[in-house]
Chain A
């Protein structure tokens, strides 16, 4: 079994192995000795737990070594999930989903158009600025700014409707805020 654990430990990144392999093997030896005195069910449970733990640990350490980002920090387990008071309202989520779908559709459409155009052997020449007038360019830029502004306003409007901004103006219950005079002279 120890040979199998050694094999699993070899799956860890090299830097991690240098640092912890001996210690981990020492712990596994002690756990193995302990379980061998408790019969085969204990040995089976230990093998299952350690195999799963070592495989998961190896994956996490590789992820950490590769990205520098700790997966356990991103996805903490065995803890009551604590959520902040901020919630995206459903309208905002819907709007953002619609925007995402529109972007994906636009990309697909562009791909279809580019594939429908027969390949040309003549290289595309440099874009000459005289073909693009100042006024159309200005109108395009203005139109884009208006569209982006509308999208931003819609998101802000949807956020405003969630009522988050009104929480600060909520007055606590008068009975709770009134200082108790019981026991005070």
Chain B
């Protein structure tokens, strides 16, 4: 999954897993929170994205001690973290340019 094809749901899922492993329901709650209540992923969208991220080895299953299969947790792999950092850097650079341009037009 090249970085140029990172969709917003995938970006939010990766951000949700950036600080700690989470299971499906916790990812849904966290993505809703970090998007400021703007994005609410459906279960179908979430697991479609998790399947692709697992196949691309951006995330992996995290075998927590007390989790059953119904509450499987996921965490970022080194590849996933690296790609997330690259995407965040790209967005930061774009945001910096956009701020500069907007400031120019306002002044």
Contact = CB atoms under 8 A, between A and B. Distances in A.
A78 B4 CA distance: 13
Contacts of A25: 70
Contacts of B52: 70, 72
A60 interface: yes
Interface string A58-82: 1011000000001011001111001
A24 B50 CA distance: 11
A23 interface: yes
A72 B43 contact: no
Contacts of B62: none
The bracket for how many chain A residues form the interface is: 20 to 34
Nearest to B39: A78
B44 A57 contact: yes
A23 B44 contact: no
Interface residues of B, number: 27
A152 B5 CA distance: 33
B25 A54 contact: no
Contact of A27 (B5, B25, B48, B69): B25
Interface in B37-61: 40-48, 50-52
A20 B44 contact: no
18 contacts: A20-B47, A23-B47, A23-B70, A24-B24, A26-B70, A26-B71, A31-B43, A49-B42, A52-B42, A53-B41, A57-B43, A58-B44, A60-B48, A61-B48, A78-B7, A78-B8, A79-B6, A79-B8
Interface of B: 1, 4-9, 23-25, 28, 40-48, 50-52, 69-72
Interface of A: 16, 19-20, 22-28, 30-31, 49-50, 52-58, 60-61, 70, 72-73, 76-79, 82
